[in-house]
Structure 1
Amino acid sequence: MSTTDTIAQLMKIEALPQTALKTKISTTNKVVAAYQSVNSRLSSLVSAANALGSSTTWGGMKATSNSTAAVVSAAAGAGAGSLSFHVDKLASTHVLTFSAASAVSSASDATGSPVLAGSTFDVKLKDGTTKTLNPADKSLQSVVAAINAEANVAYKAAAVQIGAGKYTLQLTAKDSGAAGAAAMTAAGTPTGLSLTDPTVTVNGTDAQITVGDPSDLTTTAYSITSATNTFADVLPGVTVTAVRAQAATDPAVTIDVAADAEGIAAKVQALIDNANVALTEIASQSKIKSGQTAAGPLVGDSAMRKLTQDILGAVSGGIPGLGANGGVASYSDVGVAVDRSGKLTFDKQKFIDAYQADPAKTQAYFDTYTEKTGGTDGKFDPGFDTAAGLGRKMEALGLIASVGVVDPTNPTKPTKGTMQALIERNNNTISRLNDQVSEWDVRLEMRKLALQKQFSGLEVALGKMQQQSSWLASQLAGLG
């Protein structure tokens, strides 16, 4: 008789309750993972919805240029309009280079190629005072390092090679344009150097554009200059960056600035896409068993049913106040609808047409809410204020389901998100089940020891019986 196998079989039976607990833990872990997956999709939905409550979105402007000579950008809220100009010249940075006659044969040699008569030299600072600098040695490289270590000089230094084995000092204004050149001229060049006769390698000048009638820039034109190639607020909130200077015969650059309907439509599309992703995930996690396809971990979950209804209802319920005589308007007026399969659809062109016809009303379809009594902070508080616009509705339901919201009248007691609560509850269940599994480990170990002791006694008894049986058989054989 194999007592080891017998004990193993008996222990399998004894462990059935623990096995059931482990199965339940595995199932609950799948439920938690499913809730977390849905919650992740809701977070993305909240982000997309939040973008439709931003003034940056609805104030978005699009700027275009008809020429590669300049690029244009518009900030949110920029003024709409059109402007034509000619790029006369780009900004340049003032550069001085010491003459070849005083070049040295090595930038780092302090003895064979010194550039100092003494051990120090003087520079003029931006405030007009003079400062004595102490380089590490008399080499060109040390002079360069000493100048660049002084923050208050008007220029940067470099050792440049102007020929085979010939190095000299080059000074470049820290600021571009005419102002940088003037500051550098006022500062003069370092004194105490053996290098002489610096020449202007690049004359620092401002960039310039001439604005006027593109057909004749000589009649009603006026010029704008900039120390850099960037011209800010040529129209309110509009920045032009000159890329290349134009020849006199080149056609004028024309820029146009208008509301960015395409950009806003893209954000609405993102909201619809994220809502559909959330609906798809909910459906996947809560699907019923079909043939060989297993049921989802959240099958029959009432929270999932309600979440689906809330997302679809946010669209199908329409928006009050924007319809005829102040009635309920359909979101289909701005291209958003629910199809037969239970998914949201978006007609981009219909949205753009509505926006171009009435921007403020179209925005109201997505960005409208009413502050409740006490909620006078001027911002949307999901779960407290009443959402009407689709973006606000989605933001509120997403936050309420995902992480919870804060009531501004009672900020010390935030609510807990539905998904967050469900995840926490199931994690607590898993923790309790793991404790029970651990208790069963102790119980089963004690039971195994008891069985081993019991079967050990049985083996001794069987051994004695075998001995007695053998003795009795031998006695009987002797009688025969």
Structure 2
Amino acid sequence: MASINPLSGAQSQQSPLETLLAAYRAQQERPLQALRERQQLLQSQRNLLSSLRNTLQELLARAVDVAQRGTNPFAARKVESSSPDIATASADSSAILGSVTLFVERLARADVLASNRLSRTAPFGITGTRSFQLTANGTTVTVSVTFDGSETTEQALRRIAAAINSTADVGATATVVQDTPSTVRLTLIAKQTGSPAAITFDDPEGLLATLGWTPALFADPANRTVMTDSSAGYQLSAVEQLNAQVVLNGISLVRPTNTFDDALPGVRLTLLRAQRSGDPPVTLTTTVDTDKVANYITTLLNAYNDALKALNSALSKEFKGDGWTRALLLQLRAIVSEQLGSGSLRSLSDIGITIGKDGTLTLSAKDRLQQQLQNDPSQVAQLLGANGGFADRLRTLLEEMTASNGGLGARMRMTDERIRNLSTRIRQLQQRIDQQVEAYRREYLKLQQLYSMAQSQLGLLGNFASPSSGIPLVSP
């Protein structure tokens, strides 16, 4: 009868052993799996807390901005032009509401000076270095040009232009213009508009005189020499013609640029085109920029709504039933139901903000906001940003909540500590299980070795006892 080997096949195949060990490991790791699931939940909560902190910090930043900027954002103004192709305007919070009339008589222009018409290929005939002083934009610079005597007139003009343009702080730009196939002219144009930027020069060495530029051109600022198709001169006769001129509410105004910053309080005028005699004046109307204020307020409301949605989402998922999260949500919602500020406006509904069933805020009545802004923007500012206002109360709550030592920070640190503790427990339990499995494996292999030795000894004894061995059997 064949003997039964309880460990048969173990020496050539380890799957029975591994099956037993895997079953043991699975049974031992059931508590470990529960710990891992708990760790995953805590990590999800930690990620959610981090996201919630970012959302609350964004709301805090918006609230701080509203609380610190005072009345200005709520006193935004805009200016509408009846002829935006002629003149436009912008306004700040100091602009006075109402309309003015504007007639653009002349735009500001940059001064232009041109040389005589000169033959392109004619020898220029000057050798050595020549210098002159050029004044434009109220700044005088010295320009030096070196000639070797071989230059044509066109080459010489290009050297002069290059020398002017490369001089530091020069107030004009020089250009060589080929006005006909055989002739060229040197032109200067001031870098700024208006009479203060007018171009003059001092030519003690006579270089510019060869171009037709002499002091006689600008001897009388009111009657300068005007260029022709062939002779040197300025584009405009009178220096005063370089300035912009308008009639504002019947008053004549002159400025060196096409932007008027000081004509009306808080208003910047930009001139685009001169008008002709008989054209109707442009009407500029300054009104409350309700859209700009509404966008400013909506940015705060959106940040508030995002915070509510984040808290509600947390309560429906990872923080379901969590008292701390619900308390924070209720604190945020309570702010909008209280009296706010210290002015005549005490509720968000006074400026057209409605509260939805879920607590979110919407600026749904812009006309009500516009009316309050026209009446007194400072009251809107008090309701939202002043001491005790909506943004101020949000700031007070959120600064404490999002501070490193605040409630949210403490909650995050506590969660981090719990995650670390669970990680330690998981690691230690895993090590114990791994060690026990290895201990069983070693014990099994040891038993296997002992069994193999016993089998060998039993076989040896059997050989001694067989008839073919020649050893007589002893009768009992």
Q: TM-score, normalised by structure 1?
A: 0.74
Return closer, same or farther for 1:238/1:285 CA change in 2, 3 Å cut-off.
same
Describe the shift of the 1:163–1:283 C-alpha distance in structure 2 as closer, same or farther (beyond 3 A): farther
1:460 to 428, 435, 449: 449
Q: Is the 8 A contact 1:135 1:146 kept in 2?
A: no
* 1:17-416 → structure 2 map (5 Å cutoff): 18-53=32-67, 54=69, 55-68=71-84, 69-103=86-120, 117-124=127-134, 131=142, 133=144, 143-162=160-179, 169-181=186-198, 184-186=199-201, 192=207, 196-197=211-212, 199-200=232-233, 202-203=235-236, 205-212=242-249, 221-287=250-316, 296-319=317-340, 329-346=346-363, 347-369=365-387, 388-402=388-402, 404=403, 416=405
Distance 1:454 1:189 in 2: 113
For residues 8-53 of structure 1, what are the alpha-carbon distances to aligned partners after superposition, in whole Å with 9 as ceiling and x for unaligned?
A: 4444555555544443332222112212222222233234333433
Name the count of aligned residue pairs: 422
CA distance, structure 2, for counterparts of residue 284 and residue 76 of structure 1: 40
Amino acid at match of 1:304: T
**Corresponding residue for 2:225?**
none
Q: What SS does structure 2 have at the residue aligned with 1:35?
A: helix
- Deviation string 1:304-341 (CA, Å, 9 cap, x unpaired) is 21221122111112237557xxxx94433333343333
Q: Call closer, same or farther: CA 1:123–1:311 in 2, change over 3 Å.
A: same
1:315/1:337 contact within 8 Å kept: no
The 2-side partners of 1:189 and 1:230 are apart by 37
Summarize the Cα distance change of 1:473–1:176 in structure 2 as closer, same or farther, 3 Å threshold: farther
**Alpha-carbon shift at residue 67 of structure 1 (Å):** 1.0
Give the 3-state SS of the residue equivalent to 1:122 in structure 2: strand
Check 1:119–1:361 CA distance in 2 against 1; reply closer, same or farther (3 A cut): closer
Q: Contact 2:93–2:266 (CA<8 Å) still a contact in 1?
A: yes
- Paired amino acid for 1:312: R
Q: 2:222 maps to what in 1? A: none
1:189 to 1:73, Cα distance in 2 relative to 1, 3 A: farther
How large is the RMSD of aligned CA atoms in angstroms? 3.8
Deviations 1:79-138 (A, max 9, x none): 333210111222211123334415469xxxxxxx98963245433467887635366987
Between Structure 1 and Structure 2, whose CA radius of gyration is higher?
A: 2
Letter in 1 for 2:78: K
Comparing 463-472 with 418-427, greater Cα deviation is found at: 463-472
Give 1:5 deviation, angstroms.
Answer: 4.4
Contact 1:122-1:192 within 8 A present in 2 as well: yes
Q: Partners in 1 of 2:409 and 2:177 — Cα distance? A: 64
The C-alpha deviation readout for 1:396-441, integer Å capped at 9, x for no partner, is 2233333x3xxxxxxxxxx634333323432344344445555566
2:183 & 2:446 partners in 1: Cα distance?
Answer: 104
Q: 1:359 to 1:142 in 2, by over 3 A?
A: same
CA contact (8 A) 1:147 1:156 kept: yes
Gaps of 5+ in 1: 106-112, 213-220, 288-295, 370-387, 405-414
1:174-196 CA distance string (max 9 Å, x none): 22122111xx2256799646962
- The one-letter amino acid of 1:348's match is K
C-alpha change, 1:421 and 1:192, in structure 2 (3 Å) is farther
SS at match of 2:189: strand
Per-residue deviation, 1:254: 0.9
Report the Cα distance in structure 2 between the residues aligned to 1:447 and 1:466, rounded to whole angstroms: 28
State the identity as a percent. 24
The SS at the match of 1:454 is helix
In the alignment, the residues of structure 1 paired with residue 147 and residue 418 of structure 2 have an alpha-carbon distance, to the nearest angstrom, of 72
Distance across 2 between alignment mates of 1:349 and 1:443: 72
Preserved contact between residue 365 and residue 389 of structure 1 (Cα < 8 Å): yes
Q: Which amino acid aligns with 2:242?
A: T
